[in-house]
Chains A and B, each alone.
Chain A
Amino acid sequence: MSDNAAPIKLFEKKERIFPKRVWGKYRKVKWVVMITTLAIYYLAPFLRWDRGPHAPDQAILIDMPARRGYFFFIEIWPQEVYYLTGILILAAVALFFATSLFGRVWCGYACPQTVWTDLFVWVERIVQGDRAARMRLKKAPWTFDKLWKMATTHALWLLIGLFTGGAWVFYFNDAPTLLEHIVHFDIPWSIGGWILALTFSTYLMAGFAREQVCMYMCPYSRFQSAMFDKDTLIITYDEDRGEKRGKHKKGESWEGRGHCVDCTACVQVCPMGIDIRDGLQMECIACGLCVDACNNIMDKVELPRGLIRYDTTHNQEQRRQGAEEVTASAHFLRARTVWYTLVLCVVGGLMLYSLTNRATLELHVLHDRNPLFVTLSDGSVRNGYNIKVLNKAYEDKHYSLTVHGIDGAEIRVQGAGAVDASALPVFADSVGHFRVFVSAPKQADARTAITFELIEVNSDASLVANATTYESIFASKRR
Chain B
Amino acid sequence: MSDKNMEKDAITGVETTGHEWDGIKELNNPAPRWWLIVLLISIIWAVGYWVVYPAWPTLSGDGERGGTKGSYGWTQYQQLKESQAEIVARKAAYLDRFNNADFDQIKADPELYAFAVAGGTSAFKDNCATCHGTGGSGSAGYPNLLDDDWLWGGDVDTIHETIRVGVRFTHDESRISEMPAFGGMLSEDEIGHIADYVLSFTGEAYDGPGKALYEDQCAACHADNGTGGRDFGAPNLADAIWFYGNSKGDIMSQIRRPKHGVMPAWEHRLDESTIRQLAIYVHSLGGGEN
With the chains together, A370 CA to B285 CA distance in Å?
A: 12
| Stretch of B131-139, B186-194, B254-262 at the chain-chain interface | B131-139
In contact, A11 and B36 (Cβ under 8 angstroms) = yes
Taking A14-B32, A371-B135 as contacts, is the C-beta distance between A6 and B17 under 8 angstroms? yes
Interface of B, helix, strand, loop or mixed by DSSP: loop
In contact, A377 and B35 (Cβ under 8 angstroms) = no
**Does chain B have a CB within 8 A of A466?**
no
| Stretch of B46-54, B82-90, B234-242 at the chain-chain interface | B234-242
With the chains together, A368 CA to B135 CA distance in Å?
A: 9
With the chains together, A13 CA to B34 CA distance in Å?
A: 7
| Across-interface contacts of B137 in A (CB, < 8 A) | 370-371, 374
| Across-interface contacts of B17 in A (CB, < 8 A) | 6, 8
| Across-interface contacts of B144 in A (CB, < 8 A) | 374
In contact, B3 and A1 (Cβ under 8 angstroms) = yes
Taking A1-B1, A374-B286 as contacts, is the C-beta distance between A13 and B240 under 8 angstroms? no
In contact, B28 and A8 (Cβ under 8 angstroms) = yes
B1-35 vs A, Cβ < 8 Å mask (1 yes, 0 no): 10111110000000111100000000010111111
**Does chain B have a CB within 8 A of A415?**
yes
In contact, B135 and A14 (Cβ under 8 angstroms) = no
Chain B nearest CB, measured from A267 CB (Å): 18
**Does chain A have a CB within 8 A of B95?**
no
Question: Interface residues of B toward A: which range?
Answer: 35 or more
**Does chain B have a CB within 8 A of A9?**
yes
Of the residues A5, A375, A379, A415, contact of B5 by C-beta under 8 Å: A5
In contact, A11 and B33 (Cβ under 8 angstroms) = yes
In contact, A414 and B146 (Cβ under 8 angstroms) = no
With the chains together, A384 CA to B17 CA distance in Å?
A: 74
Taking A8-B28, A9-B28, A371-B146 as contacts, is the C-beta distance between A379 and B240 under 8 angstroms? yes
**Does chain B have a CB within 8 A of A417?**
yes
**Does chain A have a CB within 8 A of B107?**
yes
Interface of A, helix, strand, loop or mixed by DSSP: loop
In contact, B239 and A378 (Cβ under 8 angstroms) = yes
**Does chain B have a CB within 8 A of A212?**
yes
A362-379 vs B, Cβ < 8 Å mask (1 yes, 0 no): 000000111100111111
With the chains together, A319 CA to B4 CA distance in Å?
A: 42
Tell me which residues from 119 to 175 in chain B have a Cβ below 8 Å from any Cβ of chain A: 133-135, 137, 144, 146-149
Chain A's closest residue to B117 (CB) is A435
Taking A6-B18, A374-B144, A377-B148 as contacts, is the C-beta distance between A14 and B241 under 8 angstroms? no
**Does chain B have a CB within 8 A of A4?**
yes
**Does chain B have a CB within 8 A of A7?**
yes
| Across-interface contacts of A1 in B (CB, < 8 A) | 1, 3
Chain B's closest residue to A208 (CB) is B34
In contact, B147 and A374 (Cβ under 8 angstroms) = yes
Given A11-B33, A368-B135, A414-B284, 4 more contacts at CB 8 Å?
A: A9-B30, A11-B32, A370-B134, A379-B239
Chain B residues with CB under 8 Å of chain A are 1, 3-7, 15-18, 28, 30-36, 106-110, 112-114, 133-135, 137, 144, 146-149, 236, 239-241, 284, 286-288
Chain A residues with CB under 8 Å of chain B are 1, 4-14, 209, 212, 216, 368-371, 374-379, 382, 384, 414-417, 435, 437
